[in-house]
Chains A and B, each alone.
Chain A
Amino acid sequence: MRRPYESNKDGGPKPDRRPDGTHEENDFTPEDNDFTPDRRPDGNNMAITTPIDQAANPTEPTATAATWAVIRDFARRRTLGAIGAAVVVVMIVVGVFAGLLAPYDPLAVDFGAMLTKPNAAHWLGTDAFGRDVLSRLIYGSRTALLVGFGAAVFGATIGAVLGVGSAYFGGRVDLYLQRLMDIFLSFPLIILALALVAILGNSIPNVIMAITIPMIPRAALVIRSSALTIREMPYVDAARAAGFGHVRIILRHMLPNVIAPYLIMLTAFLSQAILAESSLSFLGLGVQEPTAAWGLMLRGAAVDFAEAAPWMALFPGFAISLAVFAFNLFGDSLRDALDPKLRTL
């Protein structure tokens, strides 16, 4: 199956192998995003040094300092992405410390306070059972992040493993794996997730699995094509001839090349997973009551009372949008920084 990023391989710049095995094309080259070259007097690029260098050279003595420099530079040059990252961090903190931050128990039913407008006691109002919307939103971030991170990380990682394996071993293995991935790709994500939830049931681990599985072929696809560019390189065959084991070749040569697309893909998957989880909950097929989850909060009563009590629907929807937005901003800028030649997703 032809994919956009498989073309132009002959038209691109020739990869230049450095003695340590990394490739020049993976460094941030000055022309990539500017029309004006940006070089410091010492000849290094003004832009960030990529995590790839770190991965390839794990014994860098100033690793911590370099990391901070990376972050500072990133924040300065890519403000949007930094904002996205900041929001993500806030969300993670909120999710982790939900117990401390939430003013009320998200499950506490209070018939005396049903459907109250946002006020001093309940900053974002209450829902049809008198449960505090703000507290449910805070605990909901925990569910969203759990499912989002869970599904995205598992999906991306398993897919990456399959993609690298497929690219490296080539031949029959590649052919069969490709066909298998194509088969699962033909199912729209939500349909496959739906069927899986029907089979597995709808506890949080099952929902994570139901979203992970459709993501695997998508990840495999992306990673495979990145891995393929290395596989084509004669030095891989040379390394095999020299007697290096599969694992070593994969780890040393292929992995560094796929880390960038992997990270970028991960951020995209995170946002897709959060959206998938909220869609499933909205349909009644994901996480179930009385768990606090953003998609779930948009279901049922929120729609019924959309006019009379709009705060029930507004805030969870806003939260979902904000999370996905932040992940995308961050991912976008990450991609621009790491390798703008990657046009996947």
Chain B
Amino acid sequence: MRHRIRWIASSFVALVLGLTTTFPVPAGAQDKPRYGGQLDFVVPSEPPSYDAHAEETFGVIHPIAPHYSLLVRVDPFDKTGTKPVGDLAESWTISKDGLVYTFKLRQGVKFHDGSEMTSKDVKASYDKIIFPPAGVKSLRKESYSSVEVVEAPDPHTVRFRLKYPESSLLLNLASPWNWIYKADILAKDMHWYEKNVMGTGPFLFVEHVKGSHWVGKKNPNYWDKGKPYLDGFRATFMSSSAAQVAAIRGERAHIQFRGFSPPERDQLTAALGNKIAVQESPWDCLNFVSMHHEKKPFDDKRVRRALSLALDRYEASQKLSRITIVKDVSGIQVPGTPYATPPAELEKLAGYGHDINANRAEAKRLLREAGVPDGFSFTFKNRGIPHPYEPIAIWLVDQWRQIGLNVKIETIEASAYHPMLKRGDFEVAMDFQCGFIVEPDLDLVRFVTTSDANYGKHRDKVIDELYRKQARAIDVEDRKKLVRALEKRLLDEEAHVIWTLQWHRIIPHSAKVKGWTITPSHYLNNQLDTVWLTE
């Protein structure tokens, strides 16, 4: 009898031990979300208007996105920011030929004024985006040129018919800018949403005091029962980044959704220790050097290649990442995303090899061959923004010095910068690329010959063809091959532009903030429905 009890006791102990080691007690991250609390965050700039269809700045997304829903959105828990999930759409199907996308909408979703959301609201919103009437501004119209018509056959179904198949459409529809508005309001006044808020999102609009703050409170009738966890949020507008850091440091704000520089992160971690959590990610933004193909000697691809070969990207990655918001050496897609070129292959491109001395010798040789004398001088135009434009410009000038080029920096104020680029009033200039979703279609469209944004005025039919093919490619592996080929042509063979380093997004935030995952885009994951506060 006694050794039976012992047997039961020891097997019980073994069982418990076994269970706890195989299924360890969850760490804090898996805590059950807590209800309540107000999220305080700071926003570096104020929204010029409230209509996301007509604006381009994160100053619109950060405070206002919580009031709206999208048809589909990017998965807020996916670090690469490339996975679409349904928001107002419960499910969807794509026809075999890729020409018809049918979305089944959730039922019982209500606008903040109590009226029901149906497919006519989705259709009206997308009509505004894709087929805006005269006098209505829609900035992303061109990216939906494959859409022929948007239909609403019944109150809970929306259908997109395309003129030609486009593999990026679904992700494109998940754009954080495509807020769903109310059809009745749009029918009366297309400009109403520029100054007013009425959506189906997790938070209700409370107030906006210009120059000061934006307040939202929990939507008790949000369709996703059990969410949001927060009682509300308060966004304070602060343009000075030192003040933003001070606010987080003084525990007056929890988070800033755009990004801080490495020294700012270091300040916060040094001051607050484990009260600060830091999330980092490559950023879907990058500075590249644009050379005007109609100005000598930059019409010669040897010169352009030389400029790229001179750059020691790996050293810069190490050193510049200490002082400014860049880090990864990358190709034309953000590292870690589906179409990004793996490092081993990237090294084969001009300027991406590890032997910098050989590269620089080659660069000098190319310059000589192209007839560029030693000590040749040109002007590099840069945009007047401290991070990371200024540090990158300083680095570039220094690197080009190493191959005997004498470069002068001319800084153009940010407001005058685009007109300068458009006029083509530059020899070599800093350009930039920021996307809201990492998608080759969206990121590469500007390198097509006819693009408005092709400021360097390169004319390359091969790139045009490659772009068109990859946009229509349905098979992922095929598409990858085409994207790589485009990259090689753009950066290596023709060196139309010179990639510098990928921006690096650093979000140090109060450790109390949970349920928010960083993505490569500062336009994503701002609805705040999944966010909760501990304590």
Q: Select A308's contact among B263, B384, B395, beta carbons within 8 Å.
A: B263
Decide if A288 is an interface residue (CB 8 Å cutoff): yes
Decide if A317 is an interface residue (CB 8 Å cutoff): no
A198 engages B264 (CB within 8 Å):
no
Q: Select B319's contact among A114, A198, A290, A303, beta carbons within 8 Å.
A: A114
Chain A residues with CB below 8 A from B323, complex form: 114-115, 128-129, 301, 304
Distance of A107 Cα from B415 Cα, bound (Å): 27
- Given A109-B394, A128-B391, A290-B397, are A284 and B386 neighbors across the interface (CB < 8 Å)? yes
A303 engages B411 (CB within 8 Å):
no
Distance of A203 Cα from B394 Cα, bound (Å): 17
Chain B residues with CB below 8 A from A117, complex form: none
Decide if B266 is an interface residue (CB 8 Å cutoff): yes
B263 engages A300 (CB within 8 Å):
no
How many chain-B residues does the 8 Å CB contact rule pick out? Answer: 28
How many chain-A residues does the 8 Å CB contact rule pick out? Answer: 25
B390 engages A300 (CB within 8 Å):
yes
Closest to A299 in B: B386
Summarize A's interface: helix, strand, loop or mixed: loop
A288 engages B410 (CB within 8 Å):
yes
Closest to A309 in B: B263
Chain B residues with CB below 8 A from A111, complex form: 315, 319
Distance of A102 Cα from B127 Cα, bound (Å): 65
**Which B residues, 377 to 396, have Cβ-Cβ distances below 8 Å to chain A?**
384, 386-387, 390-391, 393-395
Distance of A305 Cα from B384 Cα, bound (Å): 20
Decide if B409 is an interface residue (CB 8 Å cutoff): yes
Summarize B's interface: helix, strand, loop or mixed: helix
Decide if A34 is an interface residue (CB 8 Å cutoff): no
Shortest beta-carbon distance, B10 to chain A, in Å? 57
Chain A residues with CB below 8 A from B263, complex form: 301, 304-305, 308
Shortest beta-carbon distance, A197 to chain B, in Å? 8
Shortest beta-carbon distance, B394 to chain A, in Å? 5
Closest to A283 in B: B384
B242 engages A303 (CB within 8 Å):
yes
Closest to A305 in B: B263
Distance of A176 Cα from B430 Cα, bound (Å): 47
Chain A residues with CB below 8 A from B315, complex form: 111
- Given A304-B261, A305-B263, are A129 and B394 neighbors across the interface (CB < 8 Å)? yes
Decide if A202 is an interface residue (CB 8 Å cutoff): yes
Decide if B148 is an interface residue (CB 8 Å cutoff): no
Distance of A96 Cα from B407 Cα, bound (Å): 24
Decide if B90 is an interface residue (CB 8 Å cutoff): no
Chain B residues with CB below 8 A from A285, complex form: 384, 413
**Which B residues, 254 to 312, have Cβ-Cβ distances below 8 Å to chain A?**
261, 263-264, 266-267, 270
Closest to B267 in A: A307
Decide if A289 is an interface residue (CB 8 Å cutoff): yes
**Which A residues, 67 to 124, have Cβ-Cβ distances below 8 Å to chain B?**
107-109, 111, 114-115
Distance of A147 Cα from B394 Cα, bound (Å): 23
B413 engages A198 (CB within 8 Å):
yes
Decide if B322 is an interface residue (CB 8 Å cutoff): yes
Shortest beta-carbon distance, A15 to chain B, in Å? 52
Chain B residues with CB below 8 A from A109, complex form: 394-395, 398
Decide if B344 is an interface residue (CB 8 Å cutoff): no
B413 engages A289 (CB within 8 Å):
no
Closest to B395 in A: A109
Closest to A127 in B: B323
A304 engages B395 (CB within 8 Å):
no
**Which A residues, 281 to 300, have Cβ-Cβ distances below 8 Å to chain B?**
284-285, 288-290, 299-300
B266 engages A289 (CB within 8 Å):
no
Decide if B416 is an interface residue (CB 8 Å cutoff): yes
Distance of A299 Cα from B390 Cα, bound (Å): 11
B384 engages A290 (CB within 8 Å):
no
Chain B residues with CB below 8 A from A115, complex form: 322-323
Q: Would you give 13 A-B contacts (Cβ < 8 Å), ordered by A?
A: A107-B398, A115-B322, A128-B323, A129-B394, A201-B410, A202-B413, A203-B410, A284-B384, A284-B413, A289-B411, A290-B397, A300-B390, A308-B267
Residues of B in contact with A (beta carbons under 8 Å apart): 242, 261, 263-264, 266-267, 270, 315, 319, 322-323, 384, 386-387, 390-391, 393-395, 397-398, 409-413, 415-416
Known: A289-B393, A304-B264. 19 other contacts (CB 8 A): A108-B398, A109-B394, A114-B322, A128-B322, A128-B323, A129-B323, A198-B413, A201-B410, A284-B384, A288-B384, A288-B410, A289-B409, A290-B394, A290-B397, A301-B323, A304-B261, A304-B323, A305-B263, A307-B270
Q: Which 8 A-B pairs have the closest CB atoms?
A: A288-B411, A304-B263, A109-B398, A300-B386, A111-B319, A128-B323, A305-B263, A290-B394
